[in-house]
A and B are shown apart, each in its own frame.
Chain A
Amino acid sequence: MPESTFGLRRYSENKIVNLADGVQLVSFLVLAAMMIGAAIGVVLLSNIVYSAFLLALVFISMSGMYILLNAGFVAAAQILIYVGAVNVLILFGIMLVNKRQDFVPLKNAWISQVATAGVCLGLFALLSTMVLATPWAISSLTPIGDEAIIEIGKHFFSDYLLPFELASILLLMALIGAIVLARRDYLPDEILGRDRPSEQPSALTLPERPRELISGGK
């Protein structure tokens, strides 16, 4: 821990939350029930908006699990990133294209449902045998608790530097891709054929409406 220059760091006894075992067990059971129930709801409900809201519940119960594991920072990051960003974007996506169509029942839909259920159960069986068969190396170290942020920071800039930088490049690529897609205005085919015979679009540019047409619309 870097010593604070002002020497005012409070008597920081290592505040690792050790709930009584019973309380811990009960909270684990409640969180697990909440998470599994919400996850099943995400898959089975036919209303996609409900599924998206339940997904937020799944993420929140996961962050509760992290709190039980004394990983407060990871829990808060989980809420910030998954609930606050990912899930809100999913909801945005749903609400911007929501056509409120009635659900048309397909003929013989049960075949595909049974097949899906079979695949899912098979996957579940495979994964659970894997979980049960693997001899997990359970660490005997005490949880790091409050010092976690410092340790995570150290790891990011030493042995996990490459994944960290790769993730940032991936995000940058996604950002640029989103900007390119958003800047492209919808271009009807006949205008494309008529107006731009001379201009040869190179392989790296997307077809784009000429600028003056857009500004003329305002």
Chain B
Amino acid sequence: MSPGIDLQASFIELLEGFGLTHGVAKAIWIPLPMLIIVGAVTVLALVSTWLERKVSAAAQQRIGPEYMGPFGLLVPVADVVKLLFKENISPVNTDPLLFAVAPLLVFIPIFLSFLIVPFGQNLVITDLNIGVFLWISLSSIAPIGLLMAGYSSNNKYSLLGGLRAAAQSISYEIPLALSVLAVVMMSNSLSTIEIVQQQADYGILSWNVWRQPIGFIIFWIAALAECERMPFDLPEAEEELVAGYQTEYSAVKFMLFYAGSYANLVLSALLVAVLYLGGWEFPIPVSLIAGWLGISESTPWLQVLTGSLGIVMTLFKAYLLLFVAILLRWTVPRVRIDQLLDLGWKFLLPVSLVNLLLTAGLKLAFPVAFGG
């Protein structure tokens, strides 16, 4: 397989062509992908809020946002502008410092986790060796932010919401990590790039979803619970807790929670695509198609095409999953807190342990199919 386009190398070469030294060129390169990803993630999260509005309207036989821009596409922008210009209120008896820090503690780890999401062979900020593990450990910081928000709001609904959110994300982290571990066991690496490459050989047939069907379902359920999506959105169950830990928040701080929750949803969908649905791979391998058409793999325009196809495929898979998540939210009723914890500890945890054992056994028995 060809390494594909290496944007970093070509960018640095270009700058060196202008007479800059290698170090300076590299220093100019370093912040670029980060800025691009932060911007892109914000846009992706905004798009998913728009999608939520449209799909929920369709689920209830309404039209949804229509007049602001084509198909109401400017509604998220209006949301952001409104929240930016609102007065920044912090209620009288809150703890001002913790109240301000809590949304940041929820928001930053989510955006940091996009470090490891690959959009193509070389289209990733860093190909870290610990890859998925970084995401798991970063996502474990969020409960602290939620507890902090609940505590500092000085409001019993907020405190209960924060405690619920932390309990929920702790109990669903374990099945999540165990199902990731089964995938890691098959691909012999924690790096997201290698996990995708290991699924690349036979197109759609070699995607992990066929080899890890149980793991796929567990991961999806656990990811929805981690994002506090509808069947599991108890921390903000409005009939019981007003809005949970975000009750007292408004303006920019509320926006951080809101954007963080949608960015987290996008992140989870992207990671499902990477871990189970072949990441940036087209259902039929591009190299195979190129072979049929008799085009060399190192043709420049083919490489550009492969790169853009990779981004499109990753986003397509992620948004398909997001669509499913939104439909679930508007069709499935909320579970009770005891059902939620029962499902996590008494069902998903044992099943994911069995799944791990099964994967290990199959890996020993059929090393060809299970990446021995």
Contacts and interface: CB of A to CB of B under 8 A. Distances in A.
Interface of A: 2, 4-6, 8-11, 15, 49, 53, 56, 72-73, 76-77, 79-80, 83-85, 87-88, 91-92, 95-96, 145-146, 149
A72 B129 contact: yes
B143 interface: yes
A69 to B, nearest CB: 14
The 8 lowest CB-CB distance pairs between A and B, nearest first, are: A84-B140, A80-B137, A146-B129, A76-B137, A79-B137, A8-B197, A88-B143, A91-B147
Interface residues of B, number: 39
B326 interface: no
19 contacts: A5-B372, A6-B198, A9-B194, A10-B127, A10-B197, A11-B3, A15-B129, A53-B98, A53-B144, A73-B130, A76-B130, A76-B134, A85-B140, A88-B147, A92-B166, A95-B150, A95-B163, A96-B163, A149-B129
A87 B141 CA distance: 10
A85 B201 CA distance: 38
B130 A10 contact: no
Contacts of B367: 5
B140 A5 contact: no
B68 interface: no
A4 B199 CA distance: 13
B197 A6 contact: yes
Given A8-B1, A10-B3, A84-B173, A79 B140 contact: yes
B166 A84 contact: no
Contacts of B189: 4
B345 to A, nearest CB: 11
Interface string B199-227: 01100000000000000000000000000
B136 A91 contact: no
Contacts of B194: 4, 8-10
B188 A2 contact: yes
Contact of B144 (A11, A72, A91): A91
Contact of A149 (B144, B150, B190): B190
The winner among A4, A88, A149 for most chain B CB atoms within 10 A is: A88
Interface of B: 1, 3, 98, 127-130, 133-134, 136-138, 140-141, 143-144, 147-148, 150-151, 159, 163, 166-167, 170, 173, 188-190, 193-194, 197-198, 200-201, 367-368, 371-372
A84 B197 contact: no
A95 B159 contact: yes
Nearest to A8: B197
Given A53-B148, A72-B129, A77-B137, A8 B173 contact: no
A103 to B, nearest CB: 16
A77 B134 CA distance: 9
Interface of B is mostly: helix
Contacts of B368: 5
Contact of A95 (B147, B198, B372): B147
Contacts of A49: 98, 151
A53 B170 CA distance: 17
B170 A88 contact: yes
Contacts of A72: 128-130
A6 B130 contact: no
Contacts of A76: 130, 133-134, 136-137
Contacts of A149: 129-130, 190
B143 A84 contact: yes
B166 A88 contact: yes
B163 A92 contact: yes
Contacts of A53: 98, 144, 148
A73 B133 contact: yes
A56 B194 CA distance: 32
A5 B173 CA distance: 30
A61 to B, nearest CB: 14
Given A4-B189, A5-B367, A53-B148, 20 more contacts: A4-B188, A4-B198, A6-B371, A8-B198, A10-B193, A49-B151, A56-B144, A73-B133, A76-B133, A76-B134, A80-B136, A80-B137, A83-B141, A84-B173, A88-B143, A88-B144, A88-B147, A88-B166, A88-B170, A92-B166
A80 B141 CA distance: 8
Contacts of B371: 5-6
A96 B151 CA distance: 11
